[in-house]
Amino acid sequence: MFSLATASLIGFSCLTAVTAAPFSFANNPLGNSFPAPNPSQLLDIERQAHGSIPIPFPAAPAAAHGPAADTITSLEFIAFNELFEVAFFTELIANITNNVPGYKFDTEIDTRDYILNALIAVQAQEELHAINANNAVKKFTGGVILPCQYNFPVSDIEQAIALASTFTDVVLGTLQDVVTLFGEDGDAALIRGVASVIGQEGEQNGFYRNLLNKIPSALPFLTASTRDFAFSAINQMFVVPGTCPNVTATHSDIDLTIFGTLNVLTQNIQPVAQTLTFSFGLPTGGPKPEWKSDYSGVQLVYINQQNAPTIEHLQNVRINGNTITFDAYFPFDQALFGNGLTIAAITEVFAFTDVDSIANHTIFGPGLIEIN
């Protein structure tokens, strides 16, 4: 239905924001009291979503202990992420419905209606994801995660669908991290519900990829991510600074890290081995001494599928004020470094054991690279 002109979508950190008023739930764009709808409004959302929010088994045994603190962090992250997704799809649906330039269909009314109806269902499904996560957060903490204001750096429907596919790739990788942590923290009872959302998000992404003339399933084993990478990406590129009630300059209710931004500067990345260009801005205080003057004390790490990370050296480092620009080899291989999402990060030099250990030593990231 659509043909994306380029072979890739560069990561969030490289996208240029479109000048527009920030998206906010304050003016009630959904026509209900989301994220805390009343019972009648919730029923309407469930009808649009073609299904219901989970209803617990009446005889389900109570947990022997409360959830681990890290489990609560995961639930808070899920709510934070789902609120962002509801905002994105609400704005996209409004742009299509109102025939905003770039979102107008000149022909094929049936195609427009098909896409719009699918997105309305997705929007409602994301509302239920957010409400369900916040219900758990409220049960265990007494509080909830509230929405921020957002900017979405797209100006037409093809860019919007491509961006939806990219952040869904990140979600699919991050929920792998969440269910792993649930198991490690003794909260396995929560795995089934989140695993059902992983499948649902996968169905969504197959739809987006099909609209973009890509094969619906990108990879045999989807690229791993972590909560810190996803939390950083949302805050770096979509959240209007200072508008999140739960995440401020001095305090965050969500115990996750926001890394420095890693920009992927190379455009139209093709499925071949090549050299890519990146940049990052130095933090306050400049580089740490262990980075070394030639930046050999840091490295670029690529995460692709479920494979061990690929580590590349920073080459041709250029310094312009507080901005560091550098090149790094991108070792694309059709079999081993295939389709879909690759995550790039600048890390300390370290012997990694899993994707979480990469995040634990990340300084700048994530740079998100999509290959088709």
Spacing of C-alpha 13 from chain mean position: 12
Residue 257 lies in a domain: no
Neighbours of 157 (CB within 10 A): 20
Answer for the pair 35, 144: CB distance below 8 angstroms, yes or no.
Answer: yes
- Domain that residue 181 falls in: 17-55+67-222
Count the Cβ atoms, other than its own, within 10 Å of residue 214. Answer: 20
User: H/E element holding 264?
Assistant: strand 262-264
> What confidence tens digit (pLDDT) does each residue in 236-257 have?
999 999 999 999 988 899 999 9
- Within a domain: 334: no
Is 295 a domain residue? Answer: no
Contact criterion met (CB below 8 Å) for 137 and 144: yes
CA-CA distance, 186 to 324, in Å (whole number)? 43
Whether the per-residue pLDDT at 6 is higher than 60: the answer is no
CA distance 271 to 338: 8
pLDDT for 337 beyond 90: no
- How many C-beta atoms lie closer than 10 Å to residue 81's C-beta? 25
Residue 198's pLDDT is 97
Q: Which of 151, 184, 150, 216 is nearest to 71 (CA)?
A: 184
Instruction: Quote the pLDDT of residue 60.
Output: 61
Query: pTM for the full model?
Result: 0.93
Residue at 136 is within a domain: yes
Mean pLDDT of the chain: 91
**pLDDT tens digits, 114-140:** 999 999 999 999 999 999 999 999 999
Structural domain includes residue 369: no
Q: Is 324 helix (H, G, I), strand (E, B) or coil?
A: strand
Residue 51 lies in a domain: yes
Of residues 343 and 268, more confidence is placed in 343
> Does residue 279 belong to any structural domain of this protein?
no
Does an H or E element contain 280, and which?
strand 274-281
Contact present, 310 and 301 (Cβ < 8 Å): yes
Name the domain count of the chain. Answer: 1
* Angstrom distance (rounded) from CA 154 to CA 67: 39
What percentage of the chain's residues is helix, strand, coil (to nearest 5)? 40, 15, 45
Nearest-10 Cα torsion for 335, 340, 345, 348: -30
Q: How far is CA 342 from CA 3, 100, 216, in A?
A: 22, 32, 17
Region label for 137, one of left (φ > 0), alpha (ψ between -120 and 50) or beta (otherwise): alpha
372 inside domain: no
CATH of the domain at 137: 1.20.1260.10
Question: Nearest 5°: CA angle at 200, between 197 and 204?
Answer: 135
- CA distances to 61, 298, 338 from 291, rounded to whole Å, are 52, 6, 31
* Lowest model confidence (mean pLDDT) among 62-66, 189-193, 242-246, 306-310: 62-66
